Amino acid sequence: MPAQPVILAALIMFFATLVQSIVGFGSGLISVPLIIPLLGMGSTQAIIAVTGLVTSIGMIWRYRSDMQFQHIWRIILASLIAIPIGVRIPELVPRDTALFALGVIILAYVLYVSSGLHMPHLHNRWGYLIGSFGGLLQGAFNTAGPPYVMFATSQRWPPFEFKGNIQTIFFVSGLFVVLAHWQIGNYGGDAVQIIAILIPARLLGLWLGGKVDRYIQPEPFRKVVLVMLALIGLNLIF
């Protein structure tokens, strides 16, 4: 594969990881729609699934004392059942249709967050439904953040518990996404070499995010991220 698309993908990966390190989510929402045109649908999903584990491990370690497994095990269980179905979606759906659906998901999430609506408190049993939907999205697009963040918001988790719980879900379910991609042969060709290039970009974004996190006001930064996500979603739709 030519070097230019891989270098651009590494820069995108660095920025997406920096965002996730600061606000706790957003890596897949930013990186997937921007990297797909560079590396292709199947390769992007498989590669981001592997490199995403790096981000999750780093953030789990950072917030390990705040994670509460009893609040998230239902989501994890349901997502593991749904992931193998989600991984097959890009094979069954035309590329333009899949990208349109991804754009709708991103834009709907941005509109929800920007609306200022407050999620009512959801019982933990809702975790099964949230996990199923998130597993489909993670398997298909590596973008399970929206349903998980909405559920976490309804639980009123403190900021550090929010990040620890969300990243634990991403890590456990991400392992199964990687296994599913491996099983259907998505790690052939240049995939291993590209992963070896993108992982340092992930690590650099994770490290820098940890350094600047304390100096950045979360709310203004979150608004910038939402505007950027809205532009990405609109571009995918239109």
The pLDDT assigned to 72 comes to 95
With a pLDDT cut of 90, the percent of the chain lying above it is: 35
Q: Are 159 and 35 in contact (CB under 8 A)?
A: no
Residue 43's pLDDT band, with cuts at 50, 70 and 90, is confident
| Model confidence pLDDT, tens digit, residues 45-82 | 889 999 989 888 888 888 889 999 999 999 999 999 99
DSSP string across 23-77? HS--HHHHHHHHHHHHH-HHHHHHHHHHHHHHHHHHHHHHTTTT--GGGTHHHHH
Please tell me the pTM assigned to this model. Answer: 0.81
The pLDDT assigned to 116 comes to 76
Q: Which two tokens stand for residue 3?
A: 């070097």
Distances 19 to 32, 55, 225 between C-alpha atoms, Å = 14, 11, 8
Cα separation, 35 vs 51, in Å, equals 13
Q: Which two tokens stand for residue 235?
A: 């571009």
Cα separation, 96 vs 29, in Å, equals 17
